Structure 1
Amino acid sequence: MEKELLEKRKQAVYELMCNDMYVPMKIKELAILMNVPREDRPDLEEVLNALMAEGKIELSKRGKYSKAEGTFLVGTFTGNIRGFGFVTVEGENEDIFIPETQVNGAMHGDTVQVVLSTGKVAEGKRKEGTVVKILARGTVQVVGTFQKSKNFGFVVPDNQKFGQDIFVPIERSKGAVDGHKVVVELTDYGKKNRKPEGKVMEIIGHINDPGTDIMSIVKGYDLPVEFPEKVLKQADTEAKPVSTADMAGRMDVRDWQMVTIDGEDAKDLDDAITITKEGDKYRLGVHIADVTNYVQERSALDVEALERGTSVYLVDRVIPMLPHTLSNGICSLNAGEDRLALSCIMLIDKKGNVVDHKIAETVVRVDRRMSYTSVKKILVDHDEAEIEEYKELVPMFELMQELAAILREKRRKRGSIDFDFPETKIILDKQGKPLEVKPYERNVATKIIEDFMLIANETVAQDYFWQELPFVYRTHDTPDPEKIQKLSLFINNFGYTIKNGQEEIHPKELQKLLGKIEDTPEEALISRLTLRSMKQAKYTVTSTGHFGLATQYYCHFTSPIRRYPDLQIHRIIKENLRGKLNEKRIEHYDKILPDVASHSSEMERRADEAERETEKLKKVEYMEKHIGETFEGVISSITAWGIYVELPNTIEGMIHVTNLTDDYYHYEEETYEMVGEATGKRYKLGQKIEVVVDNADKFMRTIDFVLPEKEE
């Protein structure tokens, strides 16, 4: 149903629901009252479901609709292996806790209606509620491990939030045997004393087969693996070498000195850099592959790219947004090849201000494909062999370093927050087994590219904001005052303070805090808590600003090979440059962009979660080979149930409080310490500590440490 029509009908139905004469009533009675013919009842049901999703009306157990009394909320249920759950309601600052006895058949991912428990909520405690109705099931298929009995089987879900095994009749097991990873479709969601039931749709492989573990995560997150034949054919057809006709009307910058700088193993090179100095100003060119030249709106390629939303980078594979013929071929800015690009060419003064800029369709030819390692060797290590190899480019790299430092300092002054958590690099063998886990450190070259991409993204966003044209922005809202208040109370224990105004905190305050805690024992914990107090960045059609970067204007322009929002705004920019963004096209974009932004945000979250899960899995698998070995780590977090210890290779495990056997320990919340009752022994944040690997559980994705015997 069209959005405008849906809104009109919602208004009419809601007004009727507010009239005490008529409610409560069943859908049939409502249809008669509103003169809705039988064939239009599905439309009426859609209207009612939309009103329920907004919490405006409710549905009784007898199937009667009425106006909600204000105590009902609608949200998404997140399950827990221990039976309880949480409901996330849009617009609410905190999730609602649902005790196990009040879950009432809700499963992970379901859209539910909840009623809040009456009574005052104690300070520091969450609101509690009861699930009164399941409005929509969120899970249709589940990935898990098959366990066979004589006449039936069970599937134990991989996602522990699902919380219940699924009964599978033997005739619906597809021949699965013990230890098979399977995709099971739910046919019955069960009742209070009856398990959910399902049928096996696909056998992924045996739990011990190479690759089955990652493929189970891929299937669990419903990530697309293969491209449809039609999409692959279209990609092959589009991936033609750049012709003279393709270059017509474009700005030709092939004679500009130009490089790409990426990781050694990168194959989709979608950004290239040019830089010169004009007097005391820098001319910086950020040249981005013109992917929209090959991916036409509404084509099979475009529909598939929108559906995927983003490329997904798992530990052993990349699931690309676009087929390799494009992403690693004609859309990759390979050295020595003519390529089509969309360029943002900026004139930047010595204070880091963009004093002039031009966005243009261009033809480029990259001189050299550089790696982050090579550029670091030149700029930091002053490696003679590397400098000789790239001598004609060395002045360019020195200019880059100069400008990047200016841009970084400008961002620092305005309050941009830089969380410098080390990412993890996991090296696997051919069987997918982890050989090495280590931190992936950012170096001078990665930071230079980061700085240049940030300024290009800001410049493009600001340009289109002031043109008042439809656009997709990357926004990051100001944190909730309650969360900042909690953070403020927490850091007071360590002697730190943040200035917190009545309404909103300035990012500069958090930036200052991160500066103060640098190289202190509590740095890791306070950094993580600061990050958690902030909201998640997302894609929106309005430019509400980016809190973390302390800028009013920001978008994603620099990676159209791997992110759909970048591809979408390239299309808008090109239409505008060509003078084709007329009233009809503006109307078209106004209509489609909210859904593009919302779907892209969802797909990004899905990709992030899948990436984290594969990392956790391989870290556990790596530690399985080191059970009984001793490592030195740092206490990264302390809770009532145990001490978390992070090793130098980024792997984190926990010493359960019951494994601290030399004393009875209790958790002191005020000082965030674990204290021995008899000995007075204290474990503090940031303390270096030796641990022994006691257990690594692939199913639970947990690593257990104990203290070496000499310490007990």
Structure 2
Amino acid sequence: MDEIFEKRKKIIYEFICDEFYVPMKLKELAMLLQVPKDQRDELKAVMDSLEAEGKVHVTQKGKYIKGEAKHLRGIFQANARGFGFVTVEGEPEDIFIGEEDMGGAMQGDEVEVAITKAPAGRRREGKILKIVNRGTQRLVGYYQSRKNFGFVVPDNERILQDIFVPAEQSKGAVTGHKVVVELTSYGGEGKKPEGRIVEILGHANDPGVDILSIVKAYDLPSEFPEKVLNQAERVAKPVTGADMVGRKDVRDWQTVTIDGEDAKDLDDAITLTKEGDNYILGVHIADVTNYVQENSALDREALKRGTSVYLADRVIPMLPHVLSNGMCSLNAGEDRLALSCIMTVDSKGNVIDHQIAETVVNVDERMSYTSVKKILEEHDEEECRRYQTLIPMFELMKELSEILRNRRHKRGAIDFDFPESKMVLDEDGTPLEIKAYDRNVATKIIEDFMLLANETVAEEYFWQEIPFVYRVHEAPDEEKMKKLITFIQNFGYTMHVPKGQEIRPKEVQKLLDKIEGSQEEAMISRLTLRSMKQAKYSPDNDGHFGLATKYYTHFTSPIRRYPDLQIHRIIKDNLRGRMTESRRDHYAKILTEVTMQASSLERRADEAERETVKLKKVQYMKKFYGEEFEGVISGITKWGLYVELPNTVEGLVHVANMMDDHYDYDETHFQMVGTHTGKRYELGQKVKVRVTGCDTIARTIDFELV
């Protein structure tokens, strides 16, 4: 059938390319080609396919003319297996690029691409015509020297070629060094790319060099310029009486911070009391804008960084330590300036009144999640004795947190409860322990209170119609949702999407409730998450799908996120009566750029954090070479089984290494089935595996079934 269709396309295309062809409508074409009326739909399908491939165009009058292939611009993403994709802004699906059609493009290049195939219901294919801008100027990799030259094997497996380095450009690097190489030529026509070494990071086995390589690969700024450090020192002065003038003084309110044991930048403090049936919840956030003035050297550096980056063995802060861990941090026993959202919440979790104010706070205790969990869940005697005076407030927190969580659940907020990894490293950065991060009553309390403050602030500023920064999460793409629905049907689950309407968050939440505790929970949760769009910052309030709310922002972390800092500035201008027409114009003008940059830097930080975690997991598992573990099958593909261990480490059992039988991948039911034994492996199944390989360069772990 396909052959006949392609043949017809070829004939009609050649006919349209003929120099004597005159542009015609579909009806005229049908008459000329003697296509009977009952086959006109087939002709239309042929013409649509030619149009999708860019071979023909339809004029405004509905006539078909020969078309140039549609040229699109996008960013090239290489795949370690040798092919790639081009992502075009505003287009839902990317374009597949085969190895022979890459035209010398490298990872991250901006390219011009022509569509060569557009099969119905499948991904479009294309060919790269030209490279508009090179996306990679510098690379990090492993240096290997030869007699009179060397080459760099890139850490990034999406860079598909090694970089040739002439001896005189090697800066004295020797085999085993991790280096930064600057590209001087991009190669082509059988020639390798060339470069010169600009920095030697150290030997691959030296402590800390592994993470430093990731820092350099993602171009994360590790040092603050002198000017910025000096300015931070100058502004980090203790709070004086003059600083407090005109502020609401809440220093005598019982106040705590609750964070991880190792946190040093404490953005948020909590106060909570009860009046009748109503809760008075205060979320007090460090007033960072008091120290970081707009357009100062500090502000420009913070905008350039966008966010603090939390890597396994270090934090790369958005602001210098003297501010992030010092004057801006809500340290216990110190007077601190804050911006507070004080909410009156009824017994159903509705905010019935609120006040946003500049305040002065003094925290009574710096609590850890572990400690609050010990008090509320374990009723640990020693802990309860130590924090006796705070227990009534913690009990109230637990009570209100449950009310807020139930309210969110009712409206359909989606809660992906993935085990994150918690790492314990020694001073050399060697992983001693990797475990699933404990999400307990205390982490949930803080999460619930921060969400409420963020929503309250966003709604208030939306109705004030002041230029603002929102945290938006758009509804998922229809195509991706259709694929997900087809996938979950294999496991007997359904999702209801009314015809012609967008999916509602409640439907996704219902699915997650249904799969809870099932074998396939982890796999379906991950796939559902991948079907979602990424949350981003925007000056337009487009709502937050995942939280099922119309109004959301990021207000609670100005020490470590630039958008929060930007919002504080807007709020303070408004509170102080300085939101003039010219200030409104100023914010309206800068916010598009600020939100785009913040979203992109957030993605960079997330990727760097993920790479660090992957790397440390591989290093950790190296010492268990040959040892056996119990795990759960978390993914099944035609090349093998992914198995996840209780400590969140995931590895691959290659199908080629499943020696007891020949296994076929059953795509419909996501199973591996043995040809002779009929043995089945399915998602969520418990299996025993042995560690057979750990590759720190590719950051992969190999298992075999025991």
* TM-score (normalizing by structure 1): 0.89
Range that drifts further, 649-658 or 183-192: 183-192
- Cα deviation for residue 503 of structure 1 reads 2.7
Opposite residue 197 of structure 2, the aligned amino acid is V
Q: Equivalent residue for 2:62?
A: none
Opposite residue 92 of structure 1, the aligned amino acid is E
TM-superposition CA deviations, 1:159-206 (whole Å, max 9, x none): 010111111111111011001111111111111211111111000011
Q: 2:533 aligns with which of 519, 532, 535?
A: 535
Q: What are the equivalent positions in structure 2 for 1:1-400 lying under 5 Å apart?
A: 69=68, 71-118=70-117, 120-121=119-120, 123=121, 125-400=122-397
Q: Equivalent residue for 2:41?
A: none
TM-superposition CA deviations, 1:327-352 (whole Å, max 9, x none): 11010111111000000000111111
Structure 1 runs of 4+ off > 6 angstroms? none
- Work out the CA distance in 2 between the residues paired with 1:693 and 1:149: 34
SS at match of 1:380: helix
Q: Equivalent residue for 1:674?
A: 672
- Work out the CA distance in 1 between the residues paired with 2:112 and 2:348: 54
- Work out the CA distance in 2 between the residues paired with 1:374 and 1:130: 58
Q: What are the equivalent positions in structure 2 for 1:620-699 lying under 5 Å apart?
A: 620-699=618-697
The answer to whether residue 423 in structure 2 is matched with residue 423 in structure 1 is no
TM-superposition CA deviations, 1:415-439 (whole Å, max 9, x none): 0000000110111111111111110
- Cα deviation for residue 84 of structure 1 reads 1.1
Q: What are the equivalent positions in structure 2 for 1:563-578 lying under 5 Å apart?
A: 563-578=561-576
- Cα deviation for residue 522 of structure 1 reads 0.5
Q: Equivalent residue for 2:61?
A: none
- Work out the CA distance in 1 between the residues paired with 2:281 and 2:165: 61
Q: Equivalent residue for 1:9?
A: none
- Work out the CA distance in 1 between the residues paired with 2:296 and 2:265: 22
SS at match of 1:162: coil
- Work out the CA distance in 1 between the residues paired with 2:82 and 2:433: 36
- Cα deviation for residue 70 of structure 1 reads 6.7
Q: Equivalent residue for 2:29?
A: none
- Work out the CA distance in 1 between the residues paired with 2:118 and 2:430: 53
Opposite residue 79 of structure 1, the aligned amino acid is A
- Work out the CA distance in 1 between the residues paired with 2:376 and 2:702: 42
Q: Equivalent residue for 1:44?
A: none
- Work out the CA distance in 2 between the residues paired with 1:120 and 1:548: 33
Q: Equivalent residue for 2:501?
A: 503
Q: Equivalent residue for 2:4?
A: none
Q: What are the equivalent positions in structure 2 for 1:422-571 lying under 5 Å apart?
A: 422-501=419-498, 502-571=500-569
Please say if residues 69 and 115 of structure 2, whose CA atoms lie closer than 8 Å, have aligned partners that are also in contact: no
TM-superposition CA deviations, 1:579-638 (whole Å, max 9, x none): 001011111111111111000001000000000001100100111111100000000010
Please say if residues 104 and 192 of structure 1, whose CA atoms lie closer than 8 Å, have aligned partners that are also in contact: no
- Work out the CA distance in 2 between the residues paired with 1:83 and 1:665: 26
- Work out the CA distance in 2 between the residues paired with 1:632 and 1:600: 41
Q: 1:700 aligns with which of 675, 695, 698?
A: 698
Q: Equivalent residue for 1:17?
A: none
Q: 2:402 aligns with which of 402, 405, 421?
A: 405
Opposite residue 389 of structure 1, the aligned amino acid is R
- Work out the CA distance in 2 between the residues paired with 1:402 and 1:82: 52
Opposite residue 98 of structure 1, the aligned amino acid is I
- Work out the CA distance in 1 between the residues paired with 2:560 and 2:118: 49
Please say if residues 69 and 114 of structure 2, whose CA atoms lie closer than 8 Å, have aligned partners that are also in contact: no
Opposite residue 670 of structure 1, the aligned amino acid is T
- Work out the CA distance in 1 between the residues paired with 2:286 and 2:516: 38
- Work out the CA distance in 2 between the residues paired with 1:70 and 1:443: 56
SS at match of 1:535: coil
Q: Which runs of 5+ in 1 are unaligned?
A: 1-54, 56-67
* TM-score (normalizing by structure 2): 0.90
- Cα deviation for residue 382 of structure 1 reads 1.1
Please say if residues 272 and 288 of structure 1, whose CA atoms lie closer than 8 Å, have aligned partners that are also in contact: yes
- Work out the CA distance in 1 between the residues paired with 2:396 and 2:178: 54
Q: 1:660 to 1:550 in 2, by over 3 A?
A: same
- Work out the CA distance in 1 between the residues paired with 2:427 and 2:347: 50
- Cα deviation for residue 133 of structure 1 reads 1.2
- Cα deviation for residue 225 of structure 1 reads 0.4
Range that drifts further, 641-650 or 126-135: 126-135
- Cα deviation for residue 83 of structure 1 reads 2.2
- Cα deviation for residue 81 of structure 1 reads 2.5
Q: Equivalent residue for 1:34?
A: none
The answer to whether residue 610 in structure 2 is matched with residue 612 in structure 1 is yes
Please say if residues 118 and 124 of structure 2, whose CA atoms lie closer than 8 Å, have aligned partners that are also in contact: no
- Work out the CA distance in 1 between the residues paired with 2:426 and 2:399: 40
- Work out the CA distance in 2 between the residues paired with 1:693 and 1:82: 24
Q: Which runs of 5+ in 2 are unaligned?
A: 1-53, 55-66
- Work out the CA distance in 1 between the residues paired with 2:391 and 2:172: 63
- Work out the CA distance in 2 between the residues paired with 1:412 and 1:427: 34
- Work out the CA distance in 2 between the residues paired with 1:374 and 1:193: 62
Taking only the aligned residue pairs, the percentage that are identical comes to 69
- Work out the CA distance in 2 between the residues paired with 1:288 and 1:135: 45
TM-superposition CA deviations, 1:612-671 (whole Å, max 9, x none): 001100100111111100000000010000000000000000000000011110000111
TM-superposition CA deviations, 1:89-134 (whole Å, max 9, x none): 111222111000000011000011111113534x4x3211101111
- Work out the CA distance in 2 between the residues paired with 1:655 and 1:81: 19
- Cα deviation for residue 385 of structure 1 reads 1.7
CA RMSD of aligned residues (A): 1.1
SS at match of 2:183: strand
- Cα deviation for residue 82 of structure 1 reads 2.8
- Cα deviation for residue 80 of structure 1 reads 1.9
Please say if residues 481 and 503 of structure 1, whose CA atoms lie closer than 8 Å, have aligned partners that are also in contact: no
Please say if residues 316 and 432 of structure 1, whose CA atoms lie closer than 8 Å, have aligned partners that are also in contact: yes
Opposite residue 71 of structure 1, the aligned amino acid is K
Please say if residues 269 and 328 of structure 1, whose CA atoms lie closer than 8 Å, have aligned partners that are also in contact: yes
SS at match of 1:161: coil
- Work out the CA distance in 2 between the residues paired with 1:646 and 1:378: 32
The answer to whether residue 578 in structure 2 is matched with residue 584 in structure 1 is no
SS at match of 2:223: coil
- Cα deviation for residue 238 of structure 1 reads 0.6
- Work out the CA distance in 1 between the residues paired with 2:604 and 2:669: 36
Q: Equivalent residue for 2:25?
A: none
- Cα deviation for residue 69 of structure 1 reads 4.8
